[in-house]
Structure 1
Amino acid sequence: MKALLSALRRLGRGYSDDAGPISALGLLLVGLVAIALGLKGIWLDASWDTPAWWHVVPLLVGCAGNAVRKSHPAITLGLAVPAFVADAAIGGSLALLLVLFDGIYSAERFGSERLRRVVRFGAGVVVAGVVIAAVLGGLSFQTTAGLTLQIAAMLLIPVWWAMDVRHRSELAEAATARAELEAARAAEQARAQDAERRGAVQAERSRMARELHDSVAGDVSALVIRAGAALAAPPGPADRESLAAVRENGLHALAELRTMIDVLAAEGENEPVAPVLTEDGADLLARFDGTTLDGVPPGALAPLSPVVDRAGYRILQEALTNAARHGAAGTAAVCLSRENGHVRLEVSNAVEHGERGTGLGVTSMTERAHAVGGRVTIDEGAGTWTVAARLPTAEVIR
């Protein structure tokens, strides 16, 4: 029984939403069967018997209109009403009653708001007219009530059915639209999260590149410079000193690499501490031979926020690396000072052959200073290359 009811419901939904051709054919077949069974003469006295095929003609007209019930419901109703009237004039039949029923349903289900208002108004006028005619004709109250209920059911049931189906369809469409909107929002959120993740990965890669450049490039550059000087000079006692310097810079580069690897591999509190200006700046200056210091020693710049302290160390390291790589040997001069809530760090050196460092190092220094609310300026004049950094003693969030 449940399977039968479910099948009937599916059939009803399929018929109610059909575009026309299938429903028109089904209506025609049902109408022909009804006429063949003699279900006619329902409006006039059965004593006036008409040939059955007379009812087929209005049935064909009504079914022809039913073929466009979804695309042109006004045509469907416009053909169903005169076909029903013509059929009623020759006695009426159940087949044309079904045609009228479907015409009213199609107009209410698929028609415009204006057409629906016309259908409802027309149905109300017909019901009211039947009541008035019955009263004026002297029919009894019971007969009038029964006739009124029959006409109202014939005209208003298809209107109610179509309104219910349309309401359910609108709810289903709204639910589908909401589901599509939620899916689109979820997809957009996933794209935003993916873009954020890729941005974070790229930012982390850039940070790692800066750290590797700042921590290792200086030692490798000094190593190359020492090795080049040893190769350029004639063999002698100075070779051992050069080799010792190369070994020292190589060991320091390896230590920096090991620190970076530990930083990447460590988690939480086990992460190694990066070098800072106030504690490790003096050792950094000692590694670059011939560097002179003016102003205060690095330790006198304390206290600094940890972020600014690390940024100052990396900026000083990169500036000294550029001086060793591009400047004249033994001409690097460092000036450190602290005043009015800022630290000033300046590294200058004589430039050979007009060389200047414009690679990743300058960009790295600029970005590090900007990240803590400071700035870096580069100046070249009279054969001197100067890097000047001004950093706040406390990090400025940008």
Structure 2
Amino acid sequence: MRRRGMPAPLLDTVLVLVSLADAWGHLDVETPAALAWAVLASLALTLRRRLPLVGFVLTLPSTLVSDAVFATTVALYTLSSLNRHRALLAGCALTYAVIDFLPWPWSSLETAGFNQTNNLMHVTYTLATAAAPVFLGQLVQARRDLSQRLAEISEAREQERMMTAQSVLARERAQLAREMHDVVSHQVSLIAVQAGALQVGSQDAETRKAAATIRRLSVQTLEELRHMVSVLRASGSRPTELTPQPSLADLRRLVDSSGIEAELQTELPEDLPPTVQRAIYRTVQEALTNVRKHAPGATATVHIRHMDGTIRTAVTNTAPTLPPLPLPGAHHGLVGLRQRAELLGGTIRSRRTLDGGYELLLELPATKSP
């Protein structure tokens, strides 16, 4: 987590006040020119972020005429933390050291006494004072660059991790597509062929009708499997959907080809979002499939109506008249329908009816955008 420091305007205000206090402690009110340069140096600190070199230059006169060096030190540090030209920084530090070392006025050089030891200590102190903010600013700049580089490395690693995950997902999709094509499609094809043979060779009309229904559903299943395989094999490219996607216009064909006696009653507007239409279609499809599997001989009613901004889809079947076949089922269809309904802000419920049948009820908001 990034630490939040003092806001920039507040920090600049504090630095200006400290610089004015430094000038007040080193200057006499009887030297108005020096006081003016000190005030200028203090105010120049407000420019240190936008114009660091200009701000540093404006602080030099105060260092020349007085011992108030706080503003110059801060300005030099800021310039060093924002600038990468080391020759310029070295020149600014040397200028600061020379100005701080020479007495003011310069005419006093002729009468000033020179002590080799004192002068050496003074030069060493002045150079250290000028070099310290430069080194500190460069250190802060290096730390900032390192943090930025670490952030870039972390982002690159995250991108690499996502690409690796996508690659693994693509391989899994390709493997799943092969399994669906080689196993599921093959078995469904055999079902369609056997149903066709039964339709042609049987003498019983009911048997031929059931065989025709099995063959038609097998062919439709093969078409959907081919679409699913093409989508899975298209992993890594732009996301695609099964085409064409079902809508409410396909409900009549779905009910008529369901293989059971079913009645469709609809009272819906024509401008429902595509996602709502697909949810209704898939719900009716799953409900009719369950009736065909678990309630042989039952009749079904599909009632879809619009009331108070809600679309209510009810699929109700009567009690079975034949014993159900022992078909495998993991209830994944109902789980998927429930998840789809929740994503659209709706609910789905199921219950047994008083006559031994079953009812599946879907409620969705009619205005849910895709």
TM-score w.r.t. the length of structure 1 is 0.47
The higher radius of gyration belongs to 1
TM-score w.r.t. the length of structure 2 is 0.50
Higher helix share: 1
